[in-house]
Amino acid sequence: MFGRSAYSRAMPVNLGVIERRLHSLEERLGSSRDRLSANAVGAAENARDTIAAALSNIADQLRGGATSMSHEATKIGGEAMKLGNVAVRQLAREVEHRPLIALGVAIGVGVLLGLASHRR
């Protein structure tokens, strides 16, 4: 019986120690959870910033390419306009020198266009 009573008295002390340790463990887990949440938020913000920077870089590259294409299209359009002006001047000269031939060609083209549109 003596052994039992010594054990009975030691048990409340051990339960108190266990309760304190459990409480301490709960506090550490709570602070760990808070740190993990903060780290997760920080990681999400970093990922967001990285993705935003990458998308901005891609948009800048696309804008640069579009600007380059626009300049190239303007250049080609200018060259086409020059060639068109040369062709119109040459056609005007031919009409001045050979008006009957020009009139015959115009009538022939008109007839062909009329026949082609009539078939549709």
Dig out the tokens for 65 from the structure.
Answer: 């390419």
R_g of the chain, CA atoms, integer Å = 45
- The rounded distance, in Å, linking the Cα atoms of 16 and 23 is 10
More confident residue, 8 or 102: 102
More confident residue, 37 or 72: 72
CA 116 to chain centre: 47
| Band of pLDDT at residue 1, cut at 50, 70 and 90 | very low
Which range has the top average pLDDT, 35-44, 49-58, 64-73, 77-86?
A: 77-86
Residue listed under structure tokens 């309760």: 19
Which residue stretches of 98-120 are H helix?
99-119
| Band of pLDDT at residue 12, cut at 50, 70 and 90 | low
Residue 16 to residues 9, 27, 49: CA-CA distances in angstroms? Answer: 12, 16, 49
